[in-house]
Amino acid sequence: MPSESITTSARGVILQGQTYVDVNVCLPACRSGEEFLVQGVHVGPEIVIGATSLTAQYLPLWGVSVPVYQRYTGASVQVALTAISPGPQHVWATIPAGQSTGPLSGLLPVRVTLLSGGPATHRFEFNIHVTGICGTAFVCSQRRTLQRPSRAKRRK
């Protein structure tokens, strides 16, 4: 039951002809009343294992999406933590205070997607690192989040 920031990692592979990979990242067990709060994601192309060092140069525009949730009284809304890379570069995104993993427990499904509009021309491997902490998620009152339509005054 970690009480300080931890990182959990996984590897995902997009095979030639595919456009994305879903990877389940293991979540730690937290104390009763707490949940894992995602503080950041860091993803980079693998360049050592396999022959991916030869194909990483062909990596097109791609992105990563981590499902995190804004808690409301009686509900949760998914507001993914995302990062986009223009090619063979690592990406990261952070939420320093952490954001809820919502109804998820045990495994966190992280998606790495090619954003170039077509399937992979080569095999691409990615190292995925998710950092977070066990804690209590902020719960927002729905009453405070309702947006009222603006009543713009028209000029005559």
pLDDT over threshold 70, residue 38: yes
Q: What is the pTM of this model?
A: 0.86
Q: With pLDDT > 70 as the criterion, what percentage of the chain qualifies?
A: 88
Tell me the CATH number at 122. Answer: 2.60.120
Cα–Cα dist 120/41, whole Å: 23
Arithmetic mean of pLDDT, 43-65 = 91
Residue 45 located in a structural domain: yes
Domain that holds residue 19: 6-140
Q: Which of 97-106, 127-136, 144-153 has the lowest mean pLDDT?
A: 144-153
Question: What is the number of structural domains in the chain?
Answer: 1
Distance separating alpha carbons of residues 83 and 53, to the nearest angstrom: 22
